[in-house]
Amino acid sequence: MSATISYKISTPKPHTHYFHVELLIKNREESILDLSMAVWTPGSYMIREYAKNVEQLEALDDIGKSLEIIKISKSKWQINTSSKSVVVRYRLYAFEETVRTCFLNEEHASIIPAALYIFPEKFDGPIQIEITPQHSWKKISTSLQVVGGDMWHLIAPNKDILIDSPIEIGNHHVQKFEASDVEHELAIYGEGNYDIEKIIVDIKKIVEAEVKVFNHHPCKTDKDANNKYVFILQNTANGRGGLEHLFSTSLIFKRLGYTPESSYQEFISLVSHEYFHLWNVKRLRPAALGP
């Protein structure tokens, strides 16, 4: 039987800005377990210090005995054990509001996967994610597939897809629409002076124009695609940024920046830019940028 891994993510006290993460590894065969955290995120190709936000890292074997964790570099850990099952638990501090970092407060949770997950280096099979949100949060937006109709239970076919699939959790506004025969979802956190109907009309134009350039849509043709693309938009006081992913994008824009028209054009240009990365950079790219 091959090894399996799964994550449980919870936000019991979101006002403290800590995600609680549990990694369960089953059916192991190696005597040494090497764990890593990413040092760069897809779409932002610079060295990042994500591991600095990890606290209270601990590991248990299959009978609940505590295991020694040896930190061998700033983002790598090693556990000497022949236990078939290992549970790894940690807290992750998340209070930096950008498209390349995780953020958590009383209102919502934004997961940039490279900044959240510690993972076993030698594993690259399907990965299940179970999320327990703050009790008043009712919505989740991500390009990951849902398991068994439970929106809080997700699956990634491999580590690369896991790291390349951001997640928005809370009570954000969700608008779904179709463009170029692909289901699109626009998830908007935060109030703003935006006109949702105008944004949808313009995004449809962008999608159709860019699909014509390449004559295909990756969300329909890629082997791991599920005919869906997700825009995750966070409205903040003065932010602006975007990060491309395989089947989604994370965007931040100033909440009162949708008017006048010149400022709105800045926003819609950001959307167009990130969507174009579906092809350029995500599929047409230097080999060093992935998987």
User: Over the stretch 240-286, which tens digit does the pLDDT of each residue have?
Assistant: 999 999 999 999 999 999 999 999 999 999 999 999 999 999 999 88
Which pLDDT belongs to residue 1?
64
Which pLDDT belongs to residue 239?
86
Mean pLDDT for the chain?
Answer: 95
Which of 41-50, 202-211, 225-234 shows the lowest per-residue confidence on average (mean pLDDT)? 41-50
Which pLDDT belongs to residue 61?
95
Give the angle 243-116-161 at the CA atoms, nearest 5°. 60
Q: Where are the beta strands (DSSP E) in 94-236?
A: 103-104, 108-111, 118-120, 127-132, 139-142, 145-147, 150-156, 167-170, 173-179, 182-189, 228-236
Which pLDDT belongs to residue 219?
95
Q: What tens digit of pLDDT does each residue of 182-222 get?
A: 999 999 999 999 999 999 999 999 999 999 999 999 999 99
Residues of the chain with pLDDT > 70, as a percent, come to 100
Which pLDDT belongs to residue 81?
94
Closest CA to 165 of 288, 277, 280, 41: 41
Question: Which residue's entry shows tokens 């076993």?
Answer: 120
Which pLDDT belongs to residue 137?
97
| Torsion 25-162-8-44 (CA) sign | positive
Q: What tens digit of pLDDT does each residue of 89-102 get?
A: 999 999 999 999 99
Residues of the chain with pLDDT > 90, as a percent, come to 89
Q: How far apart are the first and last CA of the chain?
A: 26
Cα R_g (the chain), whole angstroms: 19
Q: Which structure tokens are listed for 291?
A: 């998987």
Q: What tens digit of pLDDT does each residue of 87-138 get?
A: 999 999 999 999 999 999 999 999 999 999 999 998 889 999 999 999 999 9
Q: Assess whether pLDDT exceeds 80 at residue 35.
A: yes
Q: Assess whether pLDDT exceeds 80 at residue 5.
A: yes
Which pLDDT belongs to residue 224?
86
Q: Assess whether pLDDT exceeds 80 at residue 290.
A: no
Element (H, E) at 91: strand 86-93
Spatial separation of the C-alpha atoms in residues 29 and 81, rounded to whole Å: 10
Summary count for the chain: helices (H), strands (E)? 4, 21
